[in-house]
Amino acid sequence: GAVVSQHPSRVICKSGTSVKIECRSLDFQATTMFWYRQFPKQSLMLMATSNEGSKATYEQGVEKDKFLINHASLTLSTLTVTSAHPEDSSFYICSARGGGWQPQHFGDGTRLSIL
């Protein structure tokens, strides 16, 4: 079945550091990738949608200069949290979808902790 790999699984770093998270679709070509944020005991909140080769579309309230998304190929998208601060600490999850009405498949998430 469709496998999405997300790396790293956990990051602990100092305030002001920029952190890059990778999301790869391993056995299918992902025309669209999505980035979510999840707070404890809450549902997933969509941050942005990215299509290969084009700029990401950010949800209302998500700072595009803070959360840089690059989708350079059909199998790789990256999320960079720039100059991270403690309030950026969260669980970030990516998903990928092939064409048409295929469902989204999720990575295992990245736990980001900013000290």
Partner 1 sequence: GQQLNQSPQSMFIQEGEDVSMNCTSSSIFNTWLWYKQDPGEGPVLLIALYKAGELTSNGRLTAQFGITRKDSFLNISASIPSDVGIYFCAGQGRVQGAQKLVFGQGTRLTINP
Beta strands in the chain, from DSSP E residues, in sequence order: 4-7, 10-13, 19-25, 32-38, 44-51, 57-58, 67-73, 76-81, 90-97, 105-106, 110-114
Given the rule CB under 8 A, which of 14-22, 57-65, 66-74, 75-83 is the region that contacts partner 1? 57-65
The verdict on 108 binding partner 1 (CB under 8 A) reads yes
The verdict on 6 binding partner 1 (CB under 8 A) reads yes
Binding-site residue total for partner 1 (CB under 8 A)? 25
**How many CB atoms sit inside 10 A of residue 27's CB?**
10
Distance CA 59, CA 69 (A): 13
The verdict on 46 binding partner 1 (CB under 8 A) reads yes
Select 40 or 86, whichever has its Cβ closest to partner 1: 40
Provide the binding-site residues for partner 1, judged by CB under 8 A. Answer: 4, 6, 32, 34, 42-46, 49, 57, 59-60, 91, 93, 95, 101, 103-109, 111
